Amino acid sequence: MSEHELTEDLLSAYLDDELAASERAEVEARLAASTEWQAILDEVRATRGALRGLPAVDGPPEFWARVMAGDPVPDATGRAASDQVIDLGAERRRRRMPRWAVAAAGAAAAAVIVVGVVAVPQRDRVRPAVAVLSNEHAARSSVGNDVISSLASIAVPTKLGR
Amino acid sequence: MADGIPTWEEVARDHGRFLYTVAYRLAGNDDDAQDLVQEALLKVRRGLERYEPGSLEGWLARIVTNVFLDDMRRRKRRPTSALPDDPDRVVPPAPAADVASRELPVHLQEALAALPEDFRVPVVLCDVADQSYEQIASTLGVPVGTVRSRIHRGRRLLRTTLTEGAA
Domain range annotation of chain B: 8-75, 87-166
Mean pLDDT of chain A: 69
Q: Is B128 on the interface with A (CB under 8 A)?
A: yes
Per the CB < 8 A criterion, the answer to whether A17 and A38 are in contact is: no
Q: A12 to chain B nearest CA, in Å?
A: 5
Topology of B8-75 in CATH?
Rna Polymerase Sigma Factor; Chain: A (1.10.1740)
Q: Exposed/middle/buried for A161, CB within 10 Å: 0-12, 13-18, 19+?
A: exposed
For residue B4, the one-letter residue type is G
pLDDT tens, position by position, B51-103: 777 788 999 999 999 999 999 888 877 655 545 545 555 444 444 433 333 34
CATH code for the domain defined by B87-166: 1.10.10.10
For residue B51, the one-letter residue type is Y
pLDDT tens, position by position, B147-163: 999 999 999 999 998 88
How far is residue B22's CA from residue A136's CA, in Å, rounded to a whole number? 93
Per the CB < 8 A criterion, the answer to whether B38 and B8 are in contact is: no
DSSP result, A3-64: GGG--THHHHHHHTT-S-HHHHHHHHHHHHH-HHHHHHHHHHHHHHHHHHTSPP-PPPHHHH
Interface of B with A in 54-113 (CB under 8 A): 62-63, 66-67, 69-70, 74, 92, 95-96, 99, 102, 104, 108-109, 112
How far is residue A106's CA from residue A118's CA, in Å, rounded to a whole number? 18
Element (H, E) at B96: none
Query: What pLDDT is stored for residue B125 in this prediction?
Result: 97
Q: Which residue from B minimizes the CA distance to A8?
A: B152
Asked whether the beta carbons of residue A72 and residue B162 sit closer than 8 angstroms, the reply is no
Q: Is B120 on the interface with A (CB under 8 A)?
A: no
Complex ipTM, two decimals?
Answer: 0.81
